[in-house]
Structure 1
């Protein structure tokens, strides 16, 4: 008979110790200095979807015969990685800065396309269009108002 009482006491002790750290208050995280922005679940899903599509495009980008195009593609990849990282960290300043760099690199690649042969131009155009579409989707899904940031 003493054994079940011991188990109940031990169970009560474990539950009471683990229950001390639960905080169900929605303001508890902001008071503790949690640095994450609020993004609805559908928005988070879209951010993950479009950012993963961009990183897949970065990893599968082909090499071209023109060295200037390859150098600018390398810069574009770097700016896209910076953008995705800043977006995941909800750093609006870095996101805007890396997006501006991305646009500059994108425009340079559009000008350099005329130096490629027809097949390479079509491949580059296909990648650039897919990247631009995903970037536009990301821009529309990022939280813009001050209420979504801590």
Structure 2
């Protein structure tokens, strides 16, 4: 009898634990609301260009000049902020991050003269690719904060 009750208890716990997995209280469940903010084409472009930028951030080399490395770290931070704001459709955050990105980009252009020729070419290659992808992102995403992009 004890074995039978124990078996029922195990079965009951198994059934309850499986049904508890259906409840989702995660904030990730609100993703469908965010996806409606951008059209399919805009969302695809957002993913493609932001993926290219994050790949460039991840593979950014270290330079011999510590000032350049510090400014590159700032640039990476502002780019991550920008992509996060784009994904969350945060207009103010996107504008602030873009403004900070522009300042950091200009500072790196000034600091390039302190690098040797090879490092300068490498830094320029990365900066051009980042700037190109940022321009594509800006041109493909609506800037109007009062209305949603058309679907």
The alignment's TM-score, normalised by the length of structure 2, stands at: 0.73
**Length, aligned pairs only:** 116
Runs of 4+ with >3 A deviation: 34-37
The gaps in structure 1 that reach 5 residues or longer are: 1-33
Q: Distance between the aligned counterparts of 1:63 and 1:75, measured in 2?
A: 13
1:48 corresponding residue in structure 2: 47
1:70 corresponding residue in structure 2: 69
Equivalent residues in 2 for 1:75-90, closer than 5 Å: 75-90=74-89
1:113 aligns to 2:96 (yes or no): no
1:147 corresponding residue in structure 2: 147
What's the Cα RMSD here?
A: 1.3
Whether contact under 8 Å (2:63, 2:119) holds in the other structure is yes
Equivalent residues in 2 for 1:1-150, closer than 5 Å: 34=33, 38-145=37-144, 146-148=146-148
| Shift in Å, 1:38 | 2.6
1:95–1:118 distance in 2 versus 1, CA, 3 Å? same
SS of structure 2 residue aligned to 1:147:
coil
